[in-house]
């Protein structure tokens, strides 16, 4: 069934790919999704969560509802590959595959409309903006009621680490809580020839980075997954002046709340202790990231059964390795039973093996058949 | 004698102060010095070392010659004080007192011309550009022959750490060799959620800074004077990307060549070893700074004797504490016997206590009498 | 069935507990096991792997054989608890529960002999010495043929982190590869007042420990499990002498060979680079520990099915959390399909909650019924 | 004059060398000094400061008094050289030259008694025990009145860094204040496989050592002299246990009180901050060492004048380099004008170039003539 929509969906995907839109500014893409759903006779609501689209396929107002979600936004970067459907917008590109997500969800809407009489539940198609930028597009969608009366929600992400025609399903956590922090150190500037009259913020920063390695290496259980990355260090402007200030920027990524709380608090207390021991001041701005994207047992069972049928038992990788990357799908999985799958798109023969956010990222469009079918399948098996 | 020139010299200093010139571009200031010397009947050569001025007071072509040196250049910064003779040039200011140096040397020329018949040597007045910017103005002056047939050279610097009406004389080294280094670390960039796939240059930089503290604390003798300051650390641009590169910038300051060589080599070998142990690459650019400004025994004896007469025995601080700052006067002291004095200008009653390069730096002009007299005195006592 | 042997098995366990034997010197314990098996009519071989015992229950020489393994050795420590069956041997105590293992395996032999006609395979009871001391007792047993013609092997460990009446089964790795390393740093001794004439091995050791935290925190994937612990640092003898040498001792614990190789090599290369950068010498002695104790899928299936029957579905924890501790059962699991279970013994009401190797460790003897039954059950379900 | 006593003094020195006595237990050595002085007709007091000897050569009870001091104690170590007058006491040896100090002071007593009528002051010969062990022998001597009515005190130390027949005189500080500290870290022990359940005191110790390098490298002026040496690190007992405690031992050596106070307080506050940031506890025991041995201007003038006469102008090294080593002569220099000289004993031709406390240390006995003469000379020039 999916096969007959393949060319059409590829065309939609390429159209979106050529016209990438960033953040909440996904009006054109949203209109494509909305129009396609309207054409199918679905009940379409636009402007959900600012620029999102919700399309309902209702078989019985009293029946249970399942939600299928796709994100629509592109990245603020330049595409460097040479595909024929290359981005036409300078500084914007679908290097994370959301174009494919949107197109496949439109495909699923087409399939399910065709098979409407086999459905045992209502289906809500959710097209969401602004997945890439914290605090994400999901909170606004939820606030606007997208999960109201919904029993379960499913999503997927194209995944370059998994071969095309395979699907990965994580047991429990699939994607991490990606927190951000900014550390502002204030010492006392001075002449580089007189360190004893200054309070050197670079020494403080270096010690913080060096000492805090022990959080992951000693204080977090070897059976927990945790990352603390310092990704920026900026201080000073010339060779003969000890600067007054230093700035550190970074991320903490965790799965379990206990670990997240421990790391957040230890980052703060230990950084401050180090700075103060040197006589420096330290301010931390801590920005809580998306919640963990978590696969609930019941939703996972539905996914596995459908996936094994569509991809074949050996092509379903479970448990798949989770990732310390983040996803705002986590907000949905906080609210109701949810499952987020990794759809294989790697195809080395076609030269498709770049990671997400790589400027030459692409997807193997042959996987669209399985992607659409999987979306449709979970809806068909849900009651 | 000096007292009668005081007002005139203050006027010259204030004129120069209001019209600061930077680096080699000291044409106006040089012209003031040249004209003053021409008016005194001295033999004036302009354009020495690009924009320097040399004025010779010759008593006997066969006699020995003494050189007195002043620097003329201002700093590329904004004056923030409120004196009536404030800089009129945006972004340029005499915050290191070279205006006073130039004016006092003109004053010394006036005195010595008056007392010409008491002189037992020829006197060369050296007005030098570009002291502030490496590689300095002195090398060009030397190349143009300023030290030719000169027996000794003397200089002074106004010094806010010493009270007005006092003079500081260091025994041996007075100012350090201020070297500069730039360290370029190249790791491997990546996603902040996947540190194991990256080579984190920030960790490498932090380790280098942390570990290299032991050079001064353990490897240099407690009886040597040495500074290693890391004054810049720049790496990264956002919270979720491990950057590829990091940049460290700093300075090594020493007095003894053995210590300088040890520190330079250890900085290089130890930084490289750390980086390579992490799998990163490291390039170091090492820029040798001015030579040590060194007071030779014979020149120092001359200075001391004259200074004790002019300032009074108790107002001559000897040995004065040297400084890890640098001076391109060091080039002269490499070539011939030399002495560089610190002229006290601190006057807390007048609110004059800012360090050199402070945007509110100023000098106690009352010290000009002693400054001029000291310059003249060493010439008069020299044979 | 197991219930009827309970008191007898408790008595055997308490007898062994009161007479702990260490390492390979388990003659008395081995004799208890051998005599019990002889009494049951089994074919008993003593002196296997030096002091081990193998007892065969043969139903058909051509049938498949299953092995069940218990370890017999105690720890070289003092028991501090006050149980009535306390160790009577100073400096030796069964603080790791091997007494219970041995007793339960004797119990299983009793059950299986009673139910001999229900068996569809031969059963080999393996009583092994010297589990606690590297390189373990298993290699000698294997060398002496204990795995010859054996299809699968099963073992268990009493586990204080799991409640009594429950069983934990890990999927894949259960216990880590526990390697040991010794680092010998040679600097150059000297007077504490003259650090610049010495090469300080304490600075080198401190840097190695500090810097190598980044192996686990940055270089190992957050989805791998790894521990690097420095557990000893010894250097120096007084306050005014910089010592010549420092000694570091520690352990690396891993599951995956790639990770183990990476950590071993990085420990060596990075430690050496640090030492050499300071001018010190460094020797590393690296002692490979027991292999990973790994649960094979097929053996695990057998265990799970039996366990769910005996403990009840909800009392089987699977996947149980593995541990970074080591076990020489790993040698068996390298050779043939194997499964190693964690038998719950925690009973807070009885005050039984101490960790293994704690001087007040004890086990809830009520778990013996399930322990024996589990051993017997896997044999009965095996063909 | 000294020359005629040379052989006798060498004999005395060798006798003392062969019979070394440690700490306060210098009864035999004290008796040698006392008897020699009694034989000269001096007023001898024994048992001063427990086992010290004071001998007074009085010319006029109303005249001023000068004190000359020698220390008598040996070191608790084995002599490894092969001189004919080698130590006959196992585990005790004069490897710091106090035998020579005592013998030369006896020689000075002989000279001055011969030249009594040239003296213009009374002379007090001070033979002190226990210089090597904190808190020294000087405080007891002072308490027993050794400095009462004394105008100045002089001492010397044989010095292997200075060639025989030369004398070194420091301007101001000659020997440092050698403080001692002990740091006790208490974490939480655990299994090496479970670092997250422990608080690792080795990590804490390593961080303290690493971080505190910045005290000397950044916080103390490059023109101050300071040493912070960690000379002991002890923690742990095996490879699979994270220990509960770690012990650090070391020394802080300074000249200026401000620097000493700063370093002591910073050591304490920064160590504690680091430990607490890791959740560990830390206790510091800080033991104030001998005061700085300081050469007062007036006493130094006396020394220099005498020394230049005896050694020749070029053989008096002034300013000599001070040392970060300590001396309990510092207690005397706290009380009255004092000068402590370094007597050259290095003679490479004779193979005499070992440092003090080296098991093969020896002195060039040819220097005794100058040593005695210097002692006598300062007394003769004093009024």
Q: What is the pLDDT of residues B278-311, one digit of tens each?
A: 999 999 999 999 999 999 999 999 999 999 999 9
Query: Which residue in the block uniquely carries the two structure tokens 């370029």?
Result: B184
Q: Is A245 on the interface with B (CB under 8 A)?
A: no
Q: Which of B171, B178, B213, B255 to substitute to test the interface with D, most D CBs within 10 Å?
A: B213
Please check the confidence at residue C110 and state whether its pLDDT lies above 90: yes
- SS3 at position A118: helix
pLDDT at C1: 77
- The answer to whether C189 touches C243, Cβ cutoff 8 Å, is yes
DSSP C133-156: STT-SHHHHHHTTTTTTEEEEEEE
Closest by Cα among B222, B133, A77, B322 to D263: B222
Q: How far apart are CA B207 and CA C212, in angstroms?
A: 11
pLDDT tens for residues B105-132?
999 999 999 999 999 999 999 999 999 9
D interface test, pick of C190, C206, C355 with most D CB neighbours within 10 Å? C206
User: How far apart are alpha carbons A305 and A374 in whole angstroms?
Assistant: 10
Chain D: give the shortest CA distance to residue A215, in Å: 9
Report the DSSP pairing between strands D122-128 and D281-287.
unpaired
Could you give the C-alpha distances from A125 to A20, B70, C126, in angstroms and in order? Answer: 21, 81, 60
**Tokens at residue C35, please?**
């005599």
Say whether A364 sits in a helix, a strand or coil.
coil
A chain contacts of residue B205, beta-carbon cutoff 8 Å: 206, 233
Phi-psi region of D66 (alpha: psi -120 to 50; beta: other; left: phi over 0): beta
Cβ contacts of D217 on chain A, cutoff 8 Å = 195
CB-nearest partner of A277 from D220, D221, D270: D270
Strand (E) or helix (H) holding B210? helix B201-214
Predicted pLDDT at B168: 97
According to the model, what pLDDT value does residue D2 have? 83
Instruction: Tell me if C183 sits within 8 A of D222, measured CB to CB.
Output: no
Q: Are C343 and C167 in contact (CB under 8 A)?
A: yes
Share of residues in chain C with pLDDT > 70 (%): 100
Cα distance from B277 to chain C (closest Cα, Å)? 5
pLDDT digit string, tens, across residues C226-238: 999 999 999 999 9
Contact A232 B232 (CB under 8 A): no
Of C203, C211, C270, the CB nearest to B214: C203
- Measured CA to CA, the distance from residue C218 to residue A228 in angstroms comes to 8
Contact criterion met (CB < 8 Å) for C222 and A253: yes
Give, to the nearest 10 degrees, the angle between helix C201-214 and helix C257-277: 150
H/E run at residue C184: strand C177-186
The arithmetic mean of pLDDT across residues C321-344, rounded, is 97
- Residue window 207-236, chain A: list those with CB within 8 Å of chain C: 210-211, 213-218, 222-223, 225-228
The CATH classification of domain C177-287, taken from the options 3.40.190.290, 3.10.25.10, 3.30.70.360, 3.30.420.40: 3.30.70.360
DSSP conformation class of C74: B
Taking only the tens of pLDDT, chain A with its 383 residues reads 789 999 999 999 999 999 999 999 999 999 999 999 999 999 999 999 999 999 999 999 999 999 999 999 999 999 998 899 999 999 999 999 999 999 999 999 999 999 999 999 999 999 999 999 889 999 999 999 999 999 999 999 999 999 999 999 999 999 999 999 999 999 999 999 999 999 999 999 999 999 999 999 999 999 999 999 999 999 999 998 999 999 999 999 999 999 999 999 999 999 999 999 999 999 999 999 999 999 999 999 999 999 999 999 999 999 899 999 999 999 999 999 999 999 999 999 999 999 898 889 999 999 999 999 999 999 999 98
Q: Residue C66 in contact with residue C152, Cβ under 8 Å?
A: yes
Q: For chain C, state the CA radius of gyration.
A: 23
The mean pLDDT value of chain D amounts to 96
Q: Is the pLDDT of residue B1 over 80?
A: no
Using DSSP's 3-state secondary structure scheme, residue C5 falls into helix
- Of B46, B23, B105, residue with least CA distance to B70: B105
By the 8 A CB rule, do A278 and A211 touch? no
What are the structural domain ranges in chain C?
2-176+292-381, 177-287
| Contacts for D311 with CB less than 8 Å, ≥ 6 apart | D165, D166, D167, D370, D374
Residue B99 tokens read as 């205006």
Provide, as residue numbers in chain B, all residues whose Cβ is less than 8 Å from the Cβ of D322: 223
Q: Which of B210, B232, B255, B322 to mutate to test the interface with A (most CBs of A within 10 A)?
A: B232
Rounded Cα distance, B357 and B75, in Å? 8
> Whole-model pTM above 0.80?
yes
3-class secondary structure, D190: strand
Residue A326's nearest CA partner among A291, A358, A356, A286 is A291
Active site residue D290: yes
As a whole number, mean pLDDT of residues B31-42 equals 98
CATH of domain A179-287: 3.30.70.360
Q: Tens digits of per-residue pLDDT, A319-329?
A: 899 999 999 99
Domain A2-176+292-381: assigned CATH number: 3.40.630.10
- What's the CA angle centered on D126, arms D123 and D131, to 5 degrees? 155
Residue C71: alpha-carbon gap to chain centroid: 9
Give me the catalytic one of B244, B327, B365, B370.
B365
Closest CA–CA distance from residue D338 to any residue of chain B (Å): 22
> Is D222 within 8 Å of A196 when comparing Cβ atoms?
yes
Strands A122-128 and A65-71, by their bridges, are parallel
Distance from CA of D185 to the nearest CA of B (A): 22
Whether B219 and C203 lie within 8 Å, measured CB to CB = no
Reading the block at residue C34, the tokens are: 């051998």
Which of A:183-212 have CB within 8 Å of B? 191-195, 200, 202-203, 205-207, 209-210
Q: How many helices (H) and strands (E) does chain B have?
A: 9, 16
Provide the ipTM: 0.90
CB D164 within 8 A of CB D344: yes
Those chains having 3 or more beta-carbon pairs within 8 angstroms of chain D are A, B, C
DSSP B348: G
D314, D159 in Cβ contact below 8 A? no
The Cα–Cα gap between A55 and A159 comes to 26
Q: Do A229 and B323 touch (CB under 8 A)?
A: no
**Beta carbons of B178 and A193 less than 8 Å apart:** yes
Question: For D284-296, what is the mean pLDDT?
Answer: 97
DSSP for D247-280, please give it.
Answer: EEEEEEEESSHHHHHHHHHHHHHHHHHHHHHTT-
Q: What is the token pair recorded at B151? A: 């027996």
- Enumerate residues 51 to 70 of chain C having a beta carbon within 8 A of any beta carbon in chain D: none
Residue D338's closest CA among D377, D297, D310, D379? Answer: D297
Which subunits sit against C, judged by 3+ Cβ pairs under 8 A?
A, B, D
Catalytic residue from among C79, C131, C290, C332: C290
pLDDT in the model for residue D369: 97
Distance from CA of C196 to the nearest CA of B (A): 4
Residues of A with catalytic annotation?
290, 365
For residue D1, pLDDT beyond 80? no
Dihedral of CA atoms B15, B17, B22, B24 in degrees, nearest 10, equals 50
Residue D153, strand partner residues: D67, D338
Chain B closest CA to C261's CA: distance in Å? Answer: 15
* Inter-chain touch A217–C210, beta carbons under 8 Å: no
Are C179 and C251 in contact by the 8 Å Cβ rule? The answer is yes
DSSP string, D72-128: --BBSS---S--TT---STT-B-TTSHHHHHHHHHHHHHHHHHTGGG-SSEEEEEEE
- Give me the pLDDT at residue B123, please: 98
- A338 φ/ψ angles, rounded to the nearest 5 degrees: -150, 155
Residue among B231, B235, B237, B292 with most chain A CBs within 10 A, to mutate:
B231
Report strand pairing: C43-48 vs C52-57: antiparallel
Domains A2-176+292-381 and A179-287 share a fold: no
Cα–Cα distance, D66 to D109 (Å, whole number): 13
Q: Which residue has the tokens 């924009």?
A: B51
Q: Give yes or no: D11 in active site.
A: no
Q: What are the DSSP calls for A36-64, one per residue?
A: HHHHTT-EEEEEETTTEEEEEE-S-TTS-
Tokens of C308: 């769910």
CATH numeric code, D2-176+293-381: 3.40.630.10
Q: How far is D260 from chain B (nearest CA, A)?
A: 14
**Cis, bond preceding A281 (omega within 30 deg of 0):** no
Q: How confident is the model at residue C2 (pLDDT cuts 50, 70, 90)?
A: confident
Mean pLDDT of D212-239: 96
Q: How far is it, in rounded angstroms, from Cα B350 to Cα B163?
A: 12
The tens digit of pLDDT for each residue in B214-226 reads 999 999 999 999 9
Mean pLDDT of chain C: 96
Which chain C positions have a beta carbon within 8 Å of B220's beta carbon? Answer: 196
Question: What DSSP designation does B136 have?
Answer: -
- Residues of D whose CB is below 8 A from C212: none
- Are A252 and A181 spatial neighbours (Cβ–Cβ below 8 Å)? yes
Q: What are phi and psi of C15, to 5 degrees?
A: -60, -50
User: A120 near A53, Cβ under 8 Å?
Assistant: no
Decide: helix, strand or coil at residue D161. strand
Give contacts of A229 with chain B, Cβ < 8 Å: 192-193, 195, 200, 242
């Amino acid at each position: 069934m999916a096969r007959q929509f393949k060319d059409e969906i590829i065309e939609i995907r390429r159209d979106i790919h050529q016209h990438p839109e960033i953040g909440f500014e996904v009006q054109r893409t949203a209109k494509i999704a909305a129009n396609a759903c309207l054409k199918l006779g679905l009940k379409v609501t636009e402007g959900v969560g600012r620029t999102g689209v919700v399309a309902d396929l209702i078989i019985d107002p009293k029946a249970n509802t399942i939600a299928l979600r796709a994100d629509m936004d592109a990245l603020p970067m330049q595409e460097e590959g040479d595909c024929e459907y290359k981005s036409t917008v300078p500084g914007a590109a679908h290097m994370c595959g959301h174009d494919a997500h949107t197109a496949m969800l439109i495909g699923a809407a087409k399939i399910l409309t065709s098979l409407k009489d086999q459905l045992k539940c209502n289906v809500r198609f959710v097209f969401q903006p602004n997945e890439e930028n914290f605090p994400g597009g999901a909170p606004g969608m939820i606030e606007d009621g997208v999960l109201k009366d919904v029993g379960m929600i499913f999503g997927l992400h194209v995944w370059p680490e998994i071969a095309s025609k395979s699907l990965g399903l994580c047991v429990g956590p699939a994607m991490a809580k990606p927190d951000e922090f900014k550390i502002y150190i204030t010492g006392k500037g001075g002449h580089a020839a007189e360190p004893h009259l200054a309070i050197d913020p670079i020494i403080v920063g270096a010690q913080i980075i060096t000492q805090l390695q022990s959080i992951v290496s000693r204080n977090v259980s070897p059976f927990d997954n945790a990352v603390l990355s310092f990704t920026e260090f900026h201080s000073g402007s010339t060779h003969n002046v000890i600067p007054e200030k230093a700035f550190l920027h970074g991320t903490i990524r965790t799965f379990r709340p206990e670990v997240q709380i421990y790391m957040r608090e230890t980052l703060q207390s230990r950084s401050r202790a180090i700075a103060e021991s040197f006589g420096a001041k330290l301010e931390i701005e801590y920005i809580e990231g998306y919640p963990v994207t978590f696969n609930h047992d019941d939703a996972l069972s539905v996914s596995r059964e459908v996936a094994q049928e569509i991809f074949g038992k050996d092509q379903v990788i479970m448990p798949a390795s989770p990732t310390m990357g983040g996803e705002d799908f986590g907000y949905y999985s906080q609210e109701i039973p949810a499952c987020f799958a990794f759809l294989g798109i790697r195809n080395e023969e076609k030269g498709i093996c770049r990671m997400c956010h790589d400027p030459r990222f692409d997807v193997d469009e042959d996987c669209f058949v399985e992607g659409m079918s999987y979306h449709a399948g979970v809806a068909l098996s849900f009651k």
